[in-house]
Structure 1
């Protein structure tokens, strides 16, 4: 009798552990996919020492295609913590305003790793709509000025420094479970980008001339990803 009770207790304990383990297996999700970033860059005028910079020179940015990667940790039935990154795309800055004829003026790798808290809206059986908010840190690597910029400002070469910044990040989306582990996800996001650039141009007869431009934006990001829960 004691052996039967022990066996029953052990079976119940193992079943409980299995359920707990199965629940634990569904607390993590990894997503990969594609995202399109659309810029609406607001640029100040490029400024420098008096008499060195024509008025009305501004900057715009071309839209980006991104391979997105994110990790999510479920905190409860409706709340989750999400971390996202991706392969940093090359941001291409082009002339705007009086600088539009110049074309490409600079290129850089743009990084914006993001941490968010996500809330899944209850009451839906087929799809899972959600909202998320968090913070992103934008920084740049591989920054370089184009020959067209140097030619337009009569320089022999230039160095550029784009400053990093923190910004708010917001998202709305919907998730569709394909089965217990696989999910299809569609989302729209936006984040606050505010930075400035300093460009040092080596100019014959004048030495190095430093120019600045202020930039801000709230890029829109449309993404489609596939997720795996484990």
Structure 2
């Protein structure tokens, strides 16, 4: 009887220990994750408006597209409860390529830029803290700005402003500015917990993002402003490995 009692106690202890070790994401935990971010813009561009000599003209058929991009991502997450977490997302700013389409198509690549988009999410995890698989949904916002914005040669010298009517009168050295903005984000994903500390996750996010590109050209007839609104709306996928402590 005594041996049976000891065996039962040992099994009970092992069982409790295994349950405890399965707590992978519970209240008070911090989790750091790192992995691969892929940005797939669902892009379109608005009218290309050129303002010169006090007049604004819309260049019909001028548009542009934005390439996909990959980069390294990093997150820090805090579990307020077993189900609710706050997550900060950052990473190496991805480099995007802007390519002309329509009447701008012959110019090829128009320029490149790096996008900074640190994001804050509020997430809800389903199932309990002992579960190996934990699906989640989230929502939040990102503040987006751009750096290392570079124009191609034909954009930098204003050749895109050439027309049979004005010739090269409006061309000249050109600079560019891309506006910053806040963007709402929704998120859904699945986490798999290998142990109390280690996990892997895959998520998909959608960001409502637009930006205004303003080109300033110093031409022979004065300053020329060219503007277009870019709708980016990227789908962002994130494959990561996490450590909980």
Q: Report the TM-score, using the length of structure 2 for normalisation.
A: 0.79
2:128 matches 1:125 = no
Alignment check: 8 A CA contact 2:209 2:233 kept: yes
The match for 1:107 is 112
- CA distance in 2 between counterparts of 1:122 and 1:190 reads 24
> Of residues 190, 193, 198 in structure 2, which corresponds to 1:177?
193
Q: 1:61 maps to what in 2?
A: 66
Displacement of 1:51 = 7.7
**Which deviates further from its counterpart, 210-219 or 131-140?**
210-219
**CA–CA distance in 2 between the matches of 1:167 and 1:25?**
29
Q: Secondary structure at the match of 2:47?
A: coil
Q: Distance in 2 between matches of 1:127 and 1:118?
A: 15
What's the secondary structure of 1:48's corresponding residue? strand
Is 1:222–2:237 an aligned residue pair? yes
Q: Comparing 29-38 with 208-217, which one deviates more in the overlay? A: 208-217
Q: Which residue of 1 aligns with 2:8?
A: none
1:5 aligned residue = none
1:156 aligns with 2:172: yes
Unaligned runs of 5+ in 1: 1-18
CA distance in 2, matches of 1:112, 1:51: 32
**How far is the alpha carbon of 1:156 from its aligned partner?**
3.4
- 1:1-230 alignment runs, 5 A limit: 27-49=29-51, 50=55, 54-122=59-127, 125-149=131-155, 150-154=158-162, 155-203=171-219, 205-230=220-245
Q: Which segments of structure 1 move beyond 4 Å, counting only runs of 4 or more?
A: 23-26, 50-53
Q: Residues 84 and 108 of structure 1: is their aligned pair in 2 closer, same or farther, counting only changes over 3 Å?
A: same
C-alpha separation in 2, matches of 1:215 and 1:136:
17
TM-score (norm 1): 0.83
CA distance 1:202–1:92, shift in 2 (3 Å): same
The DSSP-based 3-state class of the residue aligned with 1:47 is strand
Q: CA shift at 1:103, angstroms?
A: 1.3
Aligned length: 209
